[in-house]
Chains A and B, each alone.
Chain A
Amino acid sequence: MTPQLTVLAADTGGVNGVALAVLIALFLLVSVAGFMASRFKRGESLESLDEWGLGGRKFGTWITWFLLGGDLYTAYTFVAVPAAMFATGAVAGFFAVPYTIVLYPIIFIFMARLWSVSHRHGYVTTADFVRGRYDSRGLSLAVAVTGFVATMPYIALQLVGIQAVLEVAGVGGGDNIVAKDAPLFIAFAVLAAFTYSSGLRAPAVIAFVKDILIYLVIIVAVIYLPGQVGGWDNIFGAAQEKMTTVNEATGKPTGAFLPGVGQGWAYATLALGSAMALFMYPHSVTASLSSSSRNTIRRNAAILPAYSFVLGLLALLGWVAIAAGTQPIGLDGEPNAQLVIPQLFEDMFPAWFAGVAFAAIAIGALVPAAIMSIAAANTFSRNIYKEWIKPDATPKQEAKVSKLMSLLVKAFALVFVLTLDKQNAINFQLLGGIWILQTFPAVVFSLFTRWFHRWALLAGWAVSMVYGTVEAYQVINPVTGKHFGGSLAMVPGLDEMGYIAMTAFAINLFIAVVLSAILNAAKVANGSDETIPFDYFADADDPRVQKDLAEHSSHGEPYGDPDDIPGNAPAR
Chain B
Amino acid sequence: MNPGNTPPPRPEQGPPPTDKTKMAIAAVLLVIPIVALLWVPSYARDEPELWGFPFFFWYQFLWVFICSALTWAAYKLTLSARGLTTHKAGEDR
Interface residues of A (CB under 8 A from B): 60-61, 90, 94, 97-98, 101-102, 104-106, 108-109, 135, 231-233, 235-236, 258-260, 263-265, 267-268, 271-272, 292-296, 298-299, 301-303, 305-306, 308-309, 312, 316, 528-530, 532-534, 536-537, 539-541
Please name the residue on chain A nearest to B15 by beta carbon.
Answer: A533
**With A258-B54, A306-B64 known to touch, is A292 a contact of B75 (CB < 8 Å)?**
no
Among B33, B34, B56, B87, the residue within 8 A (CB) of A293 is B87
* Least distance between A217 CB and chain B CB atoms (Å): 20
Q: A258 touching B56 by the CB < 8 A rule?
A: yes
Among A135, A265, A534, the residue within 8 A (CB) of B9 is A534
**With A105-B31, A301-B75 known to touch, is A258 a contact of B61 (CB < 8 Å)?**
no
Chain A contacts of B52 at CB under 8 A? 231-233, 235-236
Q: A272 touching B1 by the CB < 8 A rule?
A: no
Among B6, B9, B27, B71, the residue within 8 A (CB) of A305 is B71
Q: A232 touching B46 by the CB < 8 A rule?
A: no
Please name the residue on chain A nearest to B4 by beta carbon.
Answer: A528
Chain B contacts of A109 at CB under 8 A? 27, 30
Among A97, A271, A293, A534, the residue within 8 A (CB) of B38 is A271
CB-defined A-B contacts under 8 Å, sample of 29: A97-B61, A98-B38, A101-B37, A104-B71, A108-B75, A258-B56, A259-B40, A260-B44, A263-B44, A294-B87, A295-B75, A295-B86, A302-B74, A303-B68, A305-B65, A305-B71, A309-B64, A312-B57, A312-B61, A312-B64, A528-B3, A530-B1, A532-B13, A533-B14, A534-B12, A537-B15, A537-B86, A540-B87, A541-B87
Chain B, 46-92, CB within 8 A of any chain A CB: 46, 51-54, 56-57, 60-61, 63-65, 67-68, 70-72, 74-75, 78-79, 82, 85-87, 92
Q: B6 touching A532 by the CB < 8 A rule?
A: yes
Please name the residue on chain B nearest to A234 by beta carbon.
Answer: B52
Q: A101 touching B60 by the CB < 8 A rule?
A: yes
Chain B, 16-45, CB within 8 A of any chain A CB: 16, 27, 30-31, 33-34, 37-41, 44-45
How long is the Cα–Cα vector from A99 to B6 in the complex, in angstroms? 41
Interface residues of B (CB under 8 A from A): 1, 3-4, 6, 9, 12-16, 27, 30-31, 33-34, 37-41, 44-46, 51-54, 56-57, 60-61, 63-65, 67-68, 70-72, 74-75, 78-79, 82, 85-87, 92-93
Q: A302 touching B68 by the CB < 8 A rule?
A: yes
How long is the Cα–Cα vector from A109 to B29 in the complex, in angstroms? 11
* Least distance between B80 CB and chain A CB atoms (Å): 12
Consensus secondary structure, chain B interface: helix
Please name the residue on chain A nearest to B52 by beta carbon.
Answer: A232
Please name the residue on chain B nearest to A232 by beta carbon.
Answer: B52
Q: B13 touching A271 by the CB < 8 A rule?
A: no
* Least distance between B77 CB and chain A CB atoms (Å): 11
* Least distance between A260 CB and chain B CB atoms (Å): 7
Q: Give me the 3 closest cross-chain CB pairs, A-B, nearest first.
A: A264-B40, A232-B52, A528-B3
How long is the Cα–Cα vector from A316 to B57 in the complex, in angstroms? 10
Please name the residue on chain B nearest to A272 by beta carbon.
Answer: B38
Among B1, B37, B53, B72, the residue within 8 A (CB) of A232 is B53
Please name the residue on chain B nearest to A530 by beta carbon.
Answer: B3
Chain A contacts of B6 at CB under 8 A? 529, 532
17 A-B pairs besides A298-B75, A534-B15 with CB distance below 8 A are: A60-B93, A98-B60, A104-B68, A105-B71, A105-B74, A235-B52, A263-B44, A267-B40, A295-B79, A301-B71, A312-B57, A532-B1, A532-B13, A532-B14, A533-B15, A534-B9, A539-B87
